[in-house]
Every structure is written in C-alpha cells, then in structure tokens.
Structure 1
Amino acid sequence: MNAVKPYRLQQGDKVGVIAPASPPNQENLERGIAYLEDLGLRVKVGKNVSRINGYLAGLDQERLDDLHEMFQDPEVKAVICACGGYGTGRIAEQIDYELIKCNPKIFWGYSDITFLHTAIRQKTGLITFHGPMLGSDIGKSDTHSLSKEGFKQLFEPSAFVYTDQVSPLETLVEGEASGELVGGNLSLLVSTLGTNFEIDTKSKLLLIEDINEEPRSVDRMLNQLYMAGKLKDANGILVGDFCNCIAKRDLTLALDEVIAYYVKLANKPALKGFLMGHCNPNISIPLGVPAKLNTLENRLIVDSGIV
C-alpha cells in the first residue's frame, strides 16, 4: 500500500484531542492543551475525553465516536491522543478505515496507541507520529523541552537525524539498513499477532520500547516476535527506552542481556539507546516513512512525515 503523508499544520489550524485508551489526568491534559494553543493552534476536545469506565476512557463506542468525529471534521487537521494505558485494541475492528483513508490527517501518540499506528498504517497507508502525549507527558511540570519541540516537525517538512548528540547509542549488531520505520510499544506489537492487524516487518526498520515489564516478560515477548518471524523479517532494529523494566525476583537475567540475545539472534543491524518511549525526553518520529540506520556512524535518518 502506498504511503500517504498528511498535510503540515499552519498557525490557526484546529487540532482534535481524543482519549482512545485510558482516561488522562485532566489537570495535565489542560496544561498539554495550553501548550498546543501556545503553538498557535486551536483545540477541539473530544466529547468523551473526560469519561471514565474503569481503566478505559469511556465505553468502546464513545472512544470510537470521538476518533471518527475528528477524522470526519474537515476543520480538524490533526488528531492528538491525550494518553495511552489500555483500550485501543478493543476498538480496532470497529474503526472505519475508509473514513480515515478519505480524510488523511496527522495522527499522534505512542504506548497503547501503537495498536492504532499499526492498524491505521496497514489499512490506509497513512503515515502517523510516535510521540509524547498531552496528559501523560506534555502537561507534566518536568517535561523535557525536547519532548515538546517534537511537535514543531508538524509545521515544516524536514528529515530528522538522530546521533550520539541526542543520546548515547550502542551497537548491538553492526551494519547499515534502510526501510520503512514501523513499530512502537513491544507489548502492543505482540498483541497484534494472529489478528487482522498483525505487524508487518518485512524489509522494515523495527522500533521497540516498553514500560513496567520484567526482563522475563520482555524475553517472552521478544521470543514470540522472533518465532513469528518478525525480527528476522526486519531489515534493522531500533531499541528504544525500556522504562522501569526491572526484575521483581532474585533469579533473573539482565534486561540488556535479554534484548541483546534476541537482536543478535535476528542478526540484523541494530542500535540501542534511542530516547523513544516512556522516557523524558521522549523524541518523536513519524512511522511509515523511509529511514536509514548506520551503526558505523551511530546515526538514524528519518524522512519527513508531512507535506
């Protein structure tokens, strides 16, 4: 499927805010919305963003309605997620992908939003953005300026270059690789296996990150991706942040040991240390665009995600 780049934002554009997974912290969300307004954007908040249904931000239909409304509204130029948590997989089958395909626009989030990134890209070709969210990141008082600056890529098309100057990068497997950049949260990538939205990594660069998973859980998920052929199919692997992925038992393997084992088993060029995921700063990047990984120069080049 041909990739579709959404149009860039301009001063005065309206953007929509939705909560397709868990309920966001409302105070943080208000501060996150204020940041978008400081960028010169107008904000339309989904009708159901403040709803709470256990660990979900309202009923499945309510969250689905907000997503559909934002893509259907011709005044809304971007759809920004308030937070992750859990819930996007519950609505994936009910999404009107033809609606999204006919109304391509910027879609932004990470963590549980990984399921929607994968589903939307593979069903419509739309390039989406893996980046910090309003309620869980941008609205916090200690959010790093680099996390906030990531939104500026939505206003002007330009390639993004990640080197050791952003954060120290470590080579796990030497080499050069190129391909469409895909991936995101490891738990969500694994949850797509065997569904209509199974992650396609063939000839791609695969990004993985996660939070609050013990090394043995990371081992289990990477083993499943490996046995499903997803690590072997990829041209290269980017290891993002694995926040608070520490053992809660004495008998354990080290997280770095687990990750290195599977990456080396796949034997594809791989770099570790990208500040992408549940970290501060959280560097935002487009998914579905061509990218180049070079371990000899510790460098990642990612094409612009907008036109």
Structure 2
Amino acid sequence: MSQPFSGNRRALLKLLGLTLLATQVPVTANSLPLLKPRRLNPGDTVGLISPAGLVDQKTLDEIAPILSQLGLKTKLGTHLFDQYGYLAGQDVDRAADVNAMFADSSVQAVLAMAGGWGCNRILPLLDYQLIRQNPKIIIGYSDVTSLLLAIYTHSNLITFHGPLGTSTWNWFSIQHLQRILFDGAAMTLQNLLSTPVETITKGKARGRLVGGNLSLVAALVGSDYLPDWQNSILFVEDIREEVYRIDRLLTQLKLAGILDQVAGFIFAQCTNCPAGEANEPSLTLRQVLADHIKPLGIPAWYGSMIGHIQDKFTVPIGGMIEIDAERGTIRLLESVVI
C-alpha cells in the first residue's frame, strides 16, 4: 500500500512545484543588484519613442536641434508618429519601440517624447530581461512615470524623471540634466529663490528615491509594477487635479500601506490644482498634506522643482539620496550613471 501512495505523493509534489513556479511573483528590484546606466557623451545617439500620447512632426522639429546642441544624435522609433485614437499607436507597437531601443546597440539613451496616457497599457508587453541586459538611460515624466517605475522594479535599472521631448528645454532644465546624465555629478538639488519650499515636518532622511506623477503611482497600486517602498523617499507631483482628488489619491496610498513604509516624502509641484469651484467648501492643499503626511512623523516638504513646470530637476528613480526637509534639498549620495 505504501508504494502507490509514495508515487502519487511525488507526482502531487511535482505538480504543486510546477504550479508555484508558474504563478511566481515576477522578479522585483530587491531580487537583483542595482544597475546604473552609462553616462551620456557627445556623439551618443538618443532613441526617441512615444510610449503614451501622440507626437507630431513639430515636436520633433523643436527637440532635435536642442539635442544636437548637446552633441547628441537621434534615432526615431519605428512607430513614433503612429496614432490610435489618443494613443501613439497600438499597445504592441508602442511596447515594441521601447524594447527595440534597448536592444539597439547604436542607441545609448531613450527619451520619451510625450506624456498623456498609455504607458500602463504596455507594461506587460515589455521585455524586462532584455532591458536589464542592455542598461541605458531612459527619461521622461508625467504618464511616463509608469514606465520608469516598472523598469526600475523589474529590471532594477535606475531610470530618470526629467524632461520629455515636449518639455521646455530651458537653461535651468538642461543644466541639471547635463550635470547628472553627462557629468555624473553627485550634486545637491536646491530650488531657485523664486520657488520657495514649505516644510511639513523638519528633518533629514536617506533612502532610494521613488515616485513620479501622483495619479499614475496611485493607478499602479495593486499591480506588480511598483517597487518596494520600505525606507524609500517618495516624491509625487501632479497637474490639473482639484484638491479633493489629491486627497483621494493620497488616501489610496495610505490605505495601500505605502505612506507608512516610506522614510521621507516630497510633494513637488501641483500645477493648476484648484481648491474647487468658487462657492464650494474645500480643504486647501496644505490642509490635505497636513492631514496625511504630518502624522507620519517623517521629514517632508512641499515645493521641489519637479514635474509640470518649466524649470525642472532631473532626478534618479532608484538613486540613493538624502533629503533635508527644512532646506528643501535633495542630495545625491553618489553618481547615478557610470
């Protein structure tokens, strides 16, 4: 009687093992060594992609001379000018352009041309192992938040929240991009005097910087495309969201347990975020931040120059930093490129 039972047991264990293997949670950033991309050099080629919203020839005509002045050449994604409703082409084609740029050895960096909406739709179609095997700079913001976080989470490659192709590439933004991506400077990011910060809770904290557009971070809650938040520094920004919606989004992060894990918090800029209609009762944004962030007791402030503004920092998602909430500074503790 024991032999048949033993054989069945072995078969059952084998089946269970295969089932567990098939349903295993994908590799996350904690499982792999952190990768830094190679720094930019004059003569490098930047791949231009549109993983979200539409791009037109005018946008390309505006950004190409700026990149040329930085000594960079450009290579267009195959589907850069595609259109599928409000998206820059079908999901499979937008994802194919991301994968192709990482696979292309002639391309040293990848620039997302526009935000809008669409990156969440392509995350399951990306080849994260390919991306990890071919680490290179990828930069953007707004809807591209999802792409940056997913690549950091599943490839453990530092990505960069910074200008899009459609951004205002002014002196301030270009200087910060050059210092970090070309020079590899472990610099301190501090606002212009014309953009003061407002401290929520004083103090300093160290951790890996993660975050991006608040709406997109919240939209990824419940998926496996968000990183480990433990002892990280969370930064968020947004645009054209009424205060009650910011309240709702932060509440979602709170209920998901994210806010209770982070070591520091930065609400960068909330551009055109009204309290509500003129006669409607509303909390202020400062009250909402006080309600959600002050009780955490972690260093936190509002107003960093990140997001939907003309003068913007380039910041490393996954980079090790130190923040000072009273001064409103972000200090890179090491170079984030090699």
| TM-score of the alignment, normalized to the shorter chain, above 0.5 | yes
Q: SS in structure 2 opposite 1:252?
A: coil
Q: Considering only aligned residues, what root-mean-square deviation do their CA atoms show, in Å?
A: 1.5
Contact preservation (8 Å) 1:271, 1:295: yes
**1:181, distance to aligned residue in structure 2 (A):** 0.5
Equivalent residue for 1:113? 144
Cα distance change on mapping 1:22 and 1:297 into 2, 3 Å: closer
Q: Percent identity?
A: 37
In 2, Cα distance between equivalents of 1:267 and 1:51: 47
Q: Which moved more, 1:109-118 or 1:261-270?
A: 261-270
SS at structure 2 position matched to 1:218: helix
Q: Which stretches in structure 1 are left out of the alignment for 5+ residues?
A: none
The CA distance in 2 between the partners of 1:246 and 1:290, in whole Å, is: 33
Cα deviation for residue 200 of structure 1 reads: 2.6
What displacement does 1:285 show? Answer: 1.2
Separation of aligned partners in 2, 1:64 and 1:28? 21
Displacement of 1:75: 0.7
Other-structure match for 2:9: none
Taking the aligned partners of 2:216 and 2:296, their CA distance within structure 1 comes to 20
- Normalised to the residue count of structure 2, the TM-score between the two structures is 0.86
Is 1:301 aligned to residue 327 of structure 2? no
What's the counterpart of residue 65 of structure 1?
A: 96
Structure-2 residue corresponding to 1:4:
35
1:286 partnered with 2:316: yes
Q: Which residue does the alignment assign to 1:32? A: 63
For 2:274, the aligned partner's letter is: I
1:162 aligned residue (181, 184, 189): 189
Aligned-partner Cα distance in 1 for 2:118–2:229? 23
1:146 aligns with 172
Matched residue, 1:242: 270
Task: Output the CA distance in 2 between the equivalents of 1:224 and 1:147.
Answer: 31
Aligned to 1:269: 299
Task: State the shift of 1:81 in Å.
Answer: 0.5
The change in CA–CA distance for 1:24 and 1:266 in structure 2 (over 3 A counts) is farther
- Could you tell me which runs of 5 or more consecutive residues in structure 2 were left unpaired when the two chains were aligned: 1-31
Runs in 1 of length 4+ with deviation above 6 angstroms? none
2:197/2:304 contact within 8 Å kept? yes
Which protein shows a greater Rg?
2
Q: Which residue, 244, 251, 254 being the options, matches 1:216?
A: 244
Deviations 1:152-189, CA, capped at 9 Å, x for gaps: 12211111212354632221011111000010100111
Query: Is 1:125 the counterpart of 2:156 in the alignment?
Result: yes
